[in-house]
Amino acid sequence: EQHKSWDSRPLVRYERIWLPVMLFRPILTSQKHFKAEGTDIILTTMPKSGTTWLKALTFSIANRNVFSIHQSPLLSYNPHTLVPFLEYTIYRDQDNPELENIPRPRIFSTHMPFKILPDSIRESECRIIYICRNPLDQFVSHYHFMLQNKIEKDAIPLELDEVFDMFCQGIQPFGPFWDHMLGYWNAHLKNPQKVLFLKYEDLKQDISSHIKKIAEFIGFPFSAEEENQGMIEQISRLCSFENLKNLEVNKSGYFIGSIKNSSFFRKGEVGDWVNHLTPAMAERVKNLTETKFQGSGLVFKM
């Protein structure tokens, strides 16, 4: 089953998930070939939910004894270069990419829902960190990303109303969003040592405690000495929206194809949806989300 995508390219339905057709082969290849190791850290998200931020944070936390903050690779490389996606980068053109020589812990990312992750990720001791975002902001962020990155020159972007309607039907890259969130939420409830479940809004509200939480989760807790030296604040500042957005590498440069690094840094706020969606649209998403999440224990402040 196929459906036109937001940028006029098709989405294909696989295991009840809408996947961008260009990623279908890389996803199947990574399912077949990726061998997770016990020390790996896998960052998983819906697009536009805080992936870039989580990559910068996790990379900085895990490598804080390798690079000083002032010489962080984040100053010269986009977070997506330092923490590559399985489907957009690593398995994009190759069946057996060289992953042995990457320093440990290796950090990878993917937008794949929990149920289609390569088996080795679910079965090994590796850790999964999931970040999600309230669906209204995620939708608005994705819509703008799509407008900025018309991948084919003649691709005609769909109108906001039309895209919004698809979104409410669950038709969006890696959607439906509520299935994506529930998949990781249930995995987290089953094994909290395996899956850390984060929300973008919570990180915005209190970044320090989340930096500590991530560090503990991946087995690199901060020592009292590091805390006294202000290490947590330094990482928080390095990875902040303002800092990353204004770095030369993120102002220029490309992620893949014609997708600009700068398009990963738009506003970085909570609640920007009010500037783009009507109260009726918001109500529709709130009701849908409440129904879908009923009984799960998962809630969003919207």
Place of tokens 């949806």: 273
Rounded CA separation 251/91 (Å):
26
Contact 245, 268 (CB under 8 A): yes
- Smaller CB distance to ligand A3P: residue 51 or 234? 51
**Under 8 Å CB-to-CB from 90, ≥6 apart: which residues?**
26, 30, 34, 84, 97, 99, 108
Return the structure tokens found at 129.
């960190």
Return the number of other C-beta atoms located less than 10 Å from residue 109's C-beta: 26
The residue type of 286 is K
- Which of 9, 240, 249, 302 binds ligand A3P (CB under 6 A)? It is 240
255 binds ligand A3P, rule: CB under 6 A: no
Q: Which stretch binds ligand A3P (CB under 6 A): 68-76, 183-191, 208-216, 234-242?
A: 234-242
From 3, 70, 111, 210, active-site residue: 111
Binding residue (CB under 6 A) for ligand A3P from 9, 33, 115, 144: 144
What does the per-residue mask of binding to ligand A3P show for 26-65, with x meaning CB under 6 A? -------------------x-xxxxxxx------------
Which of 139, 198, 197 has the alpha carbon at shortest distance from 173?
Answer: 139
- 41: which strand partners? 107, 127
Which residues touch 283 (CB under 8 Å, ≥6 apart)? none
Q: 18 vs 130, which CB is nearer to ligand A3P?
A: 130
Backbone φ and ψ for 271, nearest 5 degrees, come out as 90, 10
- Residue 111 bears catalytic tag: yes
With CB under 6 A, what is the number of residues at the site for ligand A3P? 21
Query: Nearer to ligand A3P by C-beta: 140 or 158?
Result: 140
Least CB distance from residue 95 to ligand A3P, whole Å?
27
Q: Of 2-10, 136-144, 254-262, 286-294, which segment contacts ligand A3P by CB under 6 A? A: 136-144
Q: Which is nearer to ligand A3P, 29 or 51 (CB)?
A: 51
What would you report as the CA-atom Rg of the chain, rounded to the nearest whole angstrom? 19
Question: With the CA atoms of 297, 138, 243 and 204 taken in that order, what torsion angle do they form, in degrees rounded to the nearest 10?
Answer: -30
Q: Which of 37, 179, 201, 272 binds ligand A3P (CB under 6 A)?
A: 272
For the annotated catalytic residues, the residue numbers are 111
- Kindly list the residues in this chain that would bind ligand A3P in the complex (CB under 6 A): 45, 47-53, 137, 141, 144, 239-241, 244, 264-268, 272
